[in-house]
Amino acid sequence: MSPEVAAVREDFPVLDRTVDGQPLTYLDNAATTQTPRQVYETFEAFYAGYNANVHRGIHTLSHEASLAYEAAHDRVAEFVGASGGREEMVFTRNTTESINLVAHGLALPEFGPGDAIVTTEMEHHASLVTWQQVAKRTGAELRFVEVTDDGHVDLDHAKSLIDDDVELVSIPHVSNVLGTINPVRAFADLAHDAGAVLLVDGAQSAPTRPVDVEAMGADFFAFSGHKMAGPTGIGGLYGRKELLEGMEPFLYGGEMIQHVTFDRSTWNGLPWKFEAGTPPIAEGIALAAAVDYLDDLGMEWVREHENRLAQYALERLEARDDVETYGPGPGEERTGLVSFNVDGVHGHDLSSILNDRGIAVRAGDHCTQPLHDRMDVPGSVRASFYVYNTTEEVDRLLDAIDDAGAKLDAYLSSDRYSERLYDHHRNPRNGGSLTNPSLVKSSEETSCGDEGEFHVEIAGDGTIERLAFESRSCAVSRAVASLITEYLEGRTVAEAAEMEGEVVSMLDGQFPDLRKECVVGPEDVIREAAREYLDGEVGEAVSTA
C-alpha cells in the first residue's frame, strides 16, 4: 500500500471494522462512498455549536448557520467550476432530485408534441425514467443514443438524433456500469448547435475526476454527496444562471418565496427559489467539507488513483477464462469501477460468497435495466473503488473469485441453509418448459431483476397437474423455484394463490437475512400468477412471458 493511501485510510475509521471476522474490503463505492472524519465531524460542530434554521431568525445561531450554509453553496459551486457561485448551485437531496428539478422546472412546463429529448442507452434510471415520464406527459419524443459493444456512446448516432426538434440532451458524464468517460464536450456542441440544453448526470464523475462544468459546456450538472465522501441526503444541481432564472420552481413553500399575498406569490432569488422549506443544513455544510477533503487530496490524484485501480482490476479479471467484463478494454481510461460476471455463478451468489470474505460489491442491474438488456445479461457484479482502496484489495477480490463454483457449493451446503434447499440446488426438479401450459409467468418484474419463467398445467377442476421452470436467476432462487414446483404439484391454483410464507416454513426459516429476497421472490411470482389465473387474466399472464 502506498504511504498516500495508508494516510487516507486513517481518515476512514469504518475501514478498520470486520465483517464476520474478516477485514472489510469495501468495493461498493459507486453506490455510496465512505465518509471521512473531517466530514462527519462537521455534523458534531454544527449540532454542538450553531444548530438553527437558516434565513429565518434574527439571532446569532441562525446567522452563523445561514452564513455556513450559504458559503457551502459557493464552495461546492467552485468545486465543479461554476463561476457564478451560489446562484448557480442548488442543493437537492441527490442526483435523482436534481434531474427531476430540471424536469419539473424546465421540461414539463415547456416541452410539447414535436419536441424531442435525446438521452443514451447507458442511462441510470434516475435519468431514463424521468425523461420517459416527461415524454409521456408532454408528448415529446424520447430518443436513445446507442451504446456500442465496447461500451461507448455512438457519437455518429448521436449526431443523427440531435436535430432542431431536440430541446434537451441528457447524458451521464461517466457510466455507473461501464466506467466509460463520455465525450461531454462533443455532446454540448451538438446540443447547442441544435438549440438544445445539455444536462450532464455527474453522479459518477464529480466524485472521481476534476469537473469543470463551464469547460464541458454543461447547462446542468447533477450529482450526489453520498458518492463523493459526503453525507446522504444532499446533492447538487449546477445550472447556468440565465436558465435557472427562467425556470419554474420545483417545490413550493417557505424560503423559496419573496412576497406572498392571498392571491399570488413572487419567488426568492437563486438558488433559494429552488430550495423550498427547511433545507438539509448540516448536510450542505458537510458537503462543502467533503469537497474540501477531496480538493486536499487533489482531484487529479483521485482520477489517477481510480484509473490505476480500475486498470489493475480489469487486467486481472480479463486474464481469467471464466470472467466476462463490460465496458472499455484495458488501457482506455475509466473511473474506478469494473462490472463483470463469472461463468455459472449468478451475481447475487457471488456477492454472498464475497461477503463471507468481508468483501462488499454490488450485484444486480445497478439501476440500468435497459443497458443490461442491451448487454444481454440479467445483471452484473460491480467492484468500484475509491480513494482508500488498494491493489491488495483487488487481489483479495480476485482470490475470492477463484473456484467460485466450488465456493458456491460450500456456501449453499453450510448450515445457514436448510438441507432441503441444498438438495434442490444439487437435484433441481421440474426444470424446463411445458408444451401446453395453462399459464406462463415470467419473474422479470421482481425487484431483484431476476429472470425466470414458470409454466403451469391446470386441470379443469383447478388442480395443478404439472409445473416447470426455467431460470437465469441465482442458485438460491432456482433451488426455491424447484422446491415450489414440487410443493404445488397436485395442489390447487387456489392454494397457490394463497401461498404466504410457505417457502420460508419449508426451509424452517433457515437462510441468511441477506438472501431473503431470493428466497421469497419465486413464491411471490407464482402466487401472483395464480391470482391472475383465478381472476381470469390468463391471457395477460401468458403474455408476460
Note the residues at the interface with ligand PMP (CB under 6 A): 94-96, 124, 126, 172, 176, 201, 203-204, 224, 367
Helix-helix angle 419-426:404-413, to 10 degrees: 140
Q: Around 72, how many Cα atoms within 13 Å sit in the side-chain half-sphere? A: 29
Shortest CB 98 distance to ligand PMP, Å: 8
Nearer to ligand PMP, 174 or 488 (CB): 174
Nearer to ligand PMP, 234 or 270 (CB): 234
Answer whether 317's CB lies under 8 Å from 361's CB.
no
* 448 noted as active-site residue: no
Q: Cα(48)–Cα(200) distance, rounded to whole angstroms? A: 37
* Summary count for the chain: helices (H), strands (E): 22, 20
Phi, psi of 3 (to 5 degrees): -60, -30
Nearer to ligand PMP, 176 or 268 (CB): 176
Nearer to ligand PMP, 33 or 176 (CB): 176
Shortest CB 452 distance to ligand PMP, Å: 25
Q: Is 179 left (phi over 0), alpha (psi -120 to 50) or beta?
A: left
Shortest CB 373 distance to ligand PMP, Å: 17
Nearer to ligand PMP, 50 or 221 (CB): 221
Of 367, 448, 474, 518, catalytic: 367
What lies within 8 Å, CB to CB, of 409 at 6+ separation is none
Q: How far is Cα of residue 168 from the mean position of the Cα atoms in its chain?
A: 22
Shortest CB 171 distance to ligand PMP, Å: 10
**Residue 156: all three cell numbers together:** 455518429
Phi, psi of 153 (to 5 degrees): -75, 140
Write out the H or E segment, with its range, that includes residue 90.
strand 89-92
Shortest CB 293 distance to ligand PMP, Å: 19
Shortest CB 344 distance to ligand PMP, Å: 27
Answer whether 132's CB lies under 8 Å from 158's CB.
no
Q: State the DSSP code for 309.
A: H
Q: Cα(83)–Cα(79) distance, rounded to whole angstroms? A: 10
Q: Is 142 helix (H, G, I), strand (E, B) or coil?
A: strand
Answer whether 361's CB lies under 8 Å from 382's CB.
yes
Shortest CB 173 distance to ligand PMP, Å: 8
For β-strands 337-342 and 323-326, DSSP reports them as: antiparallel
Nearer to ligand PMP, 288 or 401 (CB): 288
Q: Cα(236)–Cα(80) distance, rounded to whole angstroms? A: 10
What lies within 8 Å, CB to CB, of 140 at 6+ separation is 107, 111, 112, 113, 114, 115, 116, 117, 134, 167
Shortest CB 322 distance to ligand PMP, Å: 27
End-to-end CA distance of the chain: 51
Answer whether 333's CB lies under 8 Å from 353's CB.
no
**Residue 79: all three cell numbers together:** 468545486
Nearer to ligand PMP, 172 or 437 (CB): 172
Q: Is 492 helix (H, G, I), strand (E, B) or coil?
A: strand
Nearer to ligand PMP, 66 or 368 (CB): 368
Strand (E) positions, 374-420?
380-384
Nearer to ligand PMP, 66 or 96 (CB): 96
Q: Cα(74)–Cα(82) distance, rounded to whole angstroms? A: 9
Shortest CB 2 distance to ligand PMP, Å: 27
Strand (E) positions, 196-335?
197-201, 220-224, 235-239, 257-260, 265-267, 323-326
Q: Which residues are catalytic?
A: 367
